[in-house]
Amino acid sequence: MILRITAPLVLQNYDVYRDMIGDESMPLLANPIQVWDEVTFSYIYVPPHVEYDRHIPTFELLAECSWDPEHGLEVRFRNGVADDADQIGETGR
């Protein structure tokens, strides 16, 4: 269920990256859930409370992704909802 809800946010990252580098070999994905076929999960990171409001449960899903193997993918969850997806180390704070 969480992957289905989060897929549009991750797909947006995929599409932005595809447009930015102009890589026509990266296929357009007809269904957002297909983006998970391009992702391999690495680990979940719980940041120290000093990085975020400690009253808002926050964790980050870090993964390898086919569209940016050098940097990978980071999806931030706050209060159980994915609110940002970007390359590892680039997620907006």
Q: Average pLDDT for residues 56-80, to the nearest whole number?
A: 90
pLDDT in tens, 28-42: 887 888 999 989 999
Give the pTM.
0.77
User: Rounded to an integer, what is the distance from CA 37 to the centroid of its chain?
Assistant: 13
Decide: 85 and 12 in contact? Cβ < 8 Å: yes
pLDDT in tens, 10-67: 988 888 888 888 877 787 887 888 999 989 999 999 887 766 677 888 899 999 998 8
Domain annotation covers residue 25:
yes
Decide: 40 and 64 in contact? Cβ < 8 Å: yes
**Total number of domains in the chain:** 1
Domain annotation covers residue 70:
yes
Cβ within 8 Å of residue 36, ≥6 positions away: 3, 7, 10
Domain annotation covers residue 92:
no
For residue 91, name the pLDDT band (cuts at 50, 70, 90). Answer: low
CB neighbours (10 Å) of residue 77? 17
Domain annotation covers residue 17:
yes
Domain ranges, residue 78: 2-87
Tokens of 45: 């990171």
Q: How far apart are CA 77 and CA 2, in angstroms?
A: 11
Q: How far apart are CA 1 and CA 20, in angstroms?
A: 30
Domain annotation covers residue 93:
no
